[in-house]
Structure 1
Amino acid sequence: MYLIVLIELPTLLFLIVLYATSEDKQELAIALGVVLGTMALLLLFVLNLKLETRIDSESVAFRYAPFIRKWRKYPKEQIKSITVIKYSPIADYGGWGIKGNKTTKAYSVIGEDGLLMDVGEKKKIMIGTMKSKELSDFLQNWIEE
C-alpha cells in the first residue's frame, strides 16, 4: 500500500504542475481525470483485500477476497501438522499476496506471522495472520482434541 502511495503522489503532483503551466488545459484535464480515476480504483482494490480464516473443531478454512470467494476447507484429519510461524514474506515466498508453487502456497496480506499447515501429498499451505499469540494458544487445545 505504501508503494502505491509513493508512486501515485509524485505522479499526481507532476500532472497538477503540468496542468497549471500548460496552455492546452482540456487535454491535460482529461489525462488528469483518467490518472486520478485509475489511482482511485487501484487504492479501492487494495483496501478491499481481505484474508479470513476460520478454525472450528472439524477443519481449517480460509478465503482471500476478491481472489478466492468460496471458503477453502481442510478437514482436521487431512492436516498432518499445523504450527504458527514467523516468516519473511519477501525472502520465503517472494512477497505478499498469493504466492507459491505445486508444493507450497502462501496467502498473506500484511505482517510476518502465519499459520503453516502440512496437508499431505507434499503440500504445505501458509496463511498469514495478525493474531499469532491467540492462534498459538488456540492450536494447543485444538490439536489435543
Structure 2
Amino acid sequence: MANRIFKESQTYIGTWVMYFIILAEVPILILLIVLYATSEDKQEMAIALGVVLGTMALILSLILNLKLETRIDDDNISFRYLPFIRTWRQYPKAIIASAEVIKYSPISDYGGWGIKGNKTTKAYSVLGDEGILLDVGEKKKILIGTMKSKELTGFIENWMEE
C-alpha cells in the first residue's frame, strides 16, 4: 500500500442543511420587506432590515464555508475543519493505538454535528452517522466523520496492518 493516500472533503453545500436555512430565511425576509413597505418610520425599518439581512448573510456564509477535510497517508492521519481549525491536525501512525470505522449516533453520542466533545473524546463531523474513531492514547479518542465509510474501512484495515 506504499504511497497510497485517502482524501475526503465534506461540506454543507447542496445538502438539506443549506436548503433548510435558505427556506427558513425567505419568509423572514418577505415579512421584513412587507413591514418596511408599510412602516411610517422608513429609516428605523431600513436599519432593522439591514441588521437582519447582514446576520442572515453571515450565517449562510458560515454554513457554506464549513469544510471537513481528511487525509490519510503512509505516516499520518490528518484533518482540518475550516474555518475553525485552519492548520492540519496530524496524528502519526506511531501514536495511534487503534483506528476503526464505526457507525454512531451524532445526537445521543456527541450532541450533534460539528465540533463536539470533552477532555477525553472529540468529534468532528459534518453530516451522517459514520466516522473513523482513533484511540491516540492517554484516554483520548478522536472521531472524524466520513461519508466514504466503505472505502475508508478497507483503507484503514490495510493501513493499520503495515
Tell whether the structures are fold-level matches, with TM greater than 0.5.
yes
Identical residues among aligned pairs (%): 73
Question: In structure 2, the residue corresponding to 1:136 is in which secondary structure?
Answer: helix
Partner of 1:56: 73
Q: Residues 124-139 of structure 1 correspond to what in structure 2 (within 5 A)?
A: 124-139=141-156
Distance 1:88 1:55 in 2: 24
Aligned Cα root-mean-square deviation (Å): 1.5
CA deviation map 1:43-99 (0-9, x unaligned): 011110111111011110111111111111111111111111111111110011111
The partner residue of 1:39 within 52, 56, 80 is 56
Deviation at 1:142, TM superposition (A): 0.8
Which 4+ runs in 1 deviate beyond 3 A?
1-7
Q: Residues 1-145 of structure 1 correspond to what in structure 2 (within 5 A)?
A: 1=17, 4-5=21-22, 7-145=24-162
Partner of 2:7: none
Q: How many aligned positions are there?
A: 145
**Which segments of 5 or more consecutive residues in structure 2 lack a partner in the other structure?**
1-16
Distance 2:85 2:43 in 1: 41
TM-score (norm 1): 0.92
The structure showing larger relative contact order (alpha-carbon pairs under 8 Å, at least 6 residues apart) is 2
**Aligned AA for 2:125?**
S
Deviation at 1:4, TM superposition (A): 3.6
**Which segments of 5 or more consecutive residues in structure 1 lack a partner in the other structure?**
none
